[in-house]
Structure 1
Amino acid sequence: MTTTTSGTASAEEAPFFPAPRSCPFSAPPQHTAFREAGGLHKVTIWDGSTHWLATRHADIRAVLSSPSFSADVRHPDFPLVHSNQPEHEGGLFLRLDDPEHARLRQMLTKEFSVRRTQAMREQLLRITDELIDGMLAKGGPVDFIQDFALPLPSRAICLILGVPYEDHALFERHANAGTDLDVSHEERARTQREAFAYFEALVERKRREPSDDMISRLLEHHTGPDGFAPEMLPVLVGILVGAGHETTANMLGLGTVALLVNPEQRDRLRDRPELAPSAAEEMLRYWSIVSTDPRRVALEDVEVGGQLVRAGEGVIVSLIAGNRDPRVFGANEGESLADTLDIGRDARRHVAFGFGSHQCLGQNLARVEMQVAWPRLFERVPGLRLAIAEDELPFKRNSIVYGLTSLPVTW
């Protein structure tokens, strides 16, 4: 049955989004309650506006695959993540709707294809070994985030794009400012200007001195009237660099914690490294680290989960709630419950990378990085353990991307 409600709601009826995870290993309780109640529910975001929240797996997929919803942050009713979003992301291909989004995306997809990313496996294994060597040489305890989880995907995305890895401190600072929701509008704008200046200079250098990398190929084949606007290219490169290391770095840290606090799963992976692909998918499902997105705005009246969403109303999806939906995961006899970690689970239906035409461009690279890293790590450092108590782990509390600020480990 279709239901309708007004666009306004009290604070009690429309709790603040994003909601905190009261347990760092679980979905926000409010999102779980909404999911089990069914339908869409109103939430309030940073600017005081209210929007719909989708929490069931089926409803999330319906929103993200429907042409009735727009991803364009320039739409006046779009539920923005923060005040800088239209200026920074407006007009980028990832914020356009099909068919223009699909046309521009196609120019990038082969750079992150299964074939190309699988071909990087040996390089990634060498980087993994170098990082493990460095950890062992230092001796424990070390900060796993700084010594392993950040440099592995950072080095990988630098190889693909042609960005000098020696500048990693700079672009990691840009990424941190871009995902930290406590950063002020002014500070985020200042950091975005700094990032644009850096990537603009890099793109110009590649224009003068092209090499075998993605930036050079974009300049040669996909810049101009039928490709990416030249003034958008530095922003695009900056977002690819940030997304290419920030999300995977957090996944590597969180996945390592999950294996350390679930030693039976760690031992299972160490004894059966062929489980690496399913372990990666399960970690993506279990953690669902993108805390604030995806978001859409309705272009026309459309029904989702029995709720009529009117044109101009925003919809936000809770990936963590959808990926813990017991109707999809753990529903069959003999399957582990949706809230538990099971690296042998068939978790391929997860929506951690989004769904539909806008799903994560770099998902194949992220998969290979995780598939390489965890088996090698526990093969070479079987005694890896936390260097602090589990309840002292510093989880990020107000970030677009969930993760850890540090991860002290020893062996």
Structure 2
Amino acid sequence: MLQRLCKEEEWCRLCKEQMKSSYRDCDKLSAWSIIKAALPYLAILMALALLYFALLLLYERGSPCRRRRCYEPCYRTTQCERRNNILLLDNVRACNARRPIKDVTFGLRCMDVLGLVGERSGKTTLNKLIISQHCLSRGRVYIRGINVNCKRKRYRAYKCIGYCPQKNCFEPEFTGRENLKIFGLIRGIKCRQLRRVTHELADNLSFRRHLRKRSKWYTVSDKRKLSTAIAVLGTPPLIILDQPTAGVEKAHRSNVLHVLKSVNDCGSAILLSSNNIEDFQTLCNRLALIRRGKLVAIGPVASYRNHASRGLILMVKARPHALIHQLCIYSLNREAIINIITRYLLANFGSVYLLEEIQGDMLFYIHNSFVPLARAFQIIEHKRLELSISDFYVKHEDIELSFVTRNFRILR
């Protein structure tokens, strides 16, 4: 060891003698100069350490800019409920949709027909959540016990669904027969049976003569019939219909409802969204009232009618020119007559809503369940001539009022 140290000292002495100028500069270097040279590298290391710590903190706790989730108690469905219901919505919520859905829960069993009631309340959004076209914020959707939110299993659930969207989704360049053939093969119908099935379905929906025509040349009515035919093709266990009779002629609307009724008798469950009261009265055995994305009431049609407040609907025709020989006032315009009728109704019934007014024809809703129908008729008939009313009609409130609830204009 001593010998090695001596050799190193001897080498240093020889180097100093040969390179005096170089070693003279090295002797002048101090500890501070070394630290100063290392400072940039230390700063880079500290910045990387802080960045790593920040990323780790975000990974563990989440971003502070993101809205924190509210962990409310979620209603858990049992395995028996999933098995007995073809469609089951468990506390479904969608906050990112155009019309948000708030905690909707209901089930649909075999041969059930559930009607979704509500103007601009999120019915289409709810249908898109069921078919996974929109993402859920919370909750689960089960179709025959299969969780639709699971990407690996949702395709098994799609085999059980027939869907008629609000906007037609068939290929416009294909003919009606070609569209039905494509969707029939996807549904699993055999080729030798497909022609008979499509022709029978087109006959029942009254558009067989247009099967060879391209779909883009169809009328609005025939397009809706074709979309409905695609949805019911093969009699799937669950059929979701969004405005199936919108745009269909009144003469052919009964054909569409008859086809849906026959498919329901074969065992299919139907989820119907419509703004037509005839669809609900013909098909549905249950109704679900949705208001602003929230499920307000659900139950049989009879109980839903009994649950509603029993008001009165008044239809008035104001024709002062027809009663000119019996009136003492000749210079009343239409607005003045409306104001006079409105004040009289408010004075006698209390709570009155004007639903519609077109060229002197007025539709009122009297929100008073204590006035009998005969008494209301006497009150209006007593002042009919003074109010410039040529004709009027009074009836009890019915289910139709739920479609215009959001359009009330409060006069009180």
- The answer to whether the superposition gives a TM-score over 0.5 is no
Pick the structure with greater CA Rg.
2
Higher strand share: 2
